[in-house]
Homo-oligomer: A and B are copies of this chain.
């Protein structure tokens, strides 16, 4: 059942996810036979790191690969799929929010999903070892095969339907994208005081580590959970020249109280 290392993979897309997934698969011995990208520059980068062929012409796609791994923005994917040549290999995308049958409705096409629950940047190499990978395929034998492939990358592979994966992706937006934005807002407040933003780093790290040690609900601190209206009023007054941030403060503080009530 294990996919042989001769498995031939075409990467469709050359962004951060494609690059890091491609490098990790290559490290495990799989052959990345080709990389497709609309934009020559990013593919150039990927090719140099992956040492493989590349094309920006969909008509030149290698038709004999076993796996076509689509890592593009959700917005770009439909157009690429529409113009993708017919192939017999398994079509898999890496999106959290798109269904498994995005390539073609029904069972006529072998299709699936390999969704890594992680944020990928250009600079940092991501370790796949303990990374949760969520898989799905429309044919059971393909799902088994995809699971085996995913297990060569990570010890945490979970089969998940498209509907549940969408919920997971929504949770990731809160835990990652919105969290990073709160860091950015905090940084902005400090920079206005001519304080370096990175004095927040021990706090940011400890906040993440503390939640990991127990549960975020169990370790909530701050004026909102204490019900310290006095401090909250001072903070709201301090934010009066930034009404959007002030409203965000008010809503997040209210939400902290609400989640506590929901859990009781």
Residue contact A117 to B184, C-beta cutoff 8 Å: no
What are 19 A-B residue pairs whose CB atoms fall within 8 Å in the complex?
A73-B228, A97-B223, A118-B203, A119-B207, A120-B221, A121-B219, A121-B221, A123-B214, A168-B195, A173-B235, A173-B249, A174-B182, A175-B207, A177-B221, A178-B182, A178-B249, A178-B252, A180-B210, A181-B259
List residues of A whose CB falls within 8 A of some B CB.
73-75, 97, 117-121, 123-124, 126, 130-132, 156, 158, 164, 166-168, 170-190, 192-193, 195, 197-217, 219-226, 228, 230-231, 234-235, 238-239, 244-245, 247-249, 251-252, 254-256, 258-259, 262
Of the candidates A204, A219, A225, A258, the one having the most CB atoms from chain B within 10 angstroms of its own CB is A204
Which B residues lie within 8 Å of A207 (CB)?
119, 175-176, 179-180, 208
With A172-B203, A200-B175 as known contacts, state yes or no: A164 contacts B183, CB within 8 Å.
no
The answer on a CB contact under 8 Å between A123 and B213 is: yes
> Given the complex of chains A and B, what is the CA–CA distance between A181 and B252 in angstroms?
8
Cβ A186 vs Cβ B177 within 8 A: no
Asked if B215 and A187 sit within 8 Å, CB to CB, the answer is yes
A217 touches B187 (CB 8 A): yes
Contacts of A171 in B (CB 8 A): 186-187, 189-190, 200
Q: Which residues of B contact A74 (CB under 8 A)?
A: 223, 228, 230-231
A123 to chain B: which residues have CB within 8 Å? 213-214
What residues on B are CB-neighbors of A251 within 8 Å? 244, 247-248, 251
The residue on B at minimum CB distance from A247 is B251
Q: How far is the CB of A192 from chain B (nearest CB, A)?
A: 7
Q: Cα distance A240–B173 when bound, in Å?
A: 16
Given A178-B256, A180-B210, 9 more A-B residue pairs with CB atoms under 8 Å apart are A117-B203, A170-B238, A174-B186, A174-B249, A176-B203, A179-B204, A180-B207, A180-B211, A244-B251
Q: Are A119 and B203 in contact (CB under 8 A)?
A: yes
A239 — nearest CB in chain B belongs to which residue?
B170
Shortest A5–chain B CB gap in Å is 26
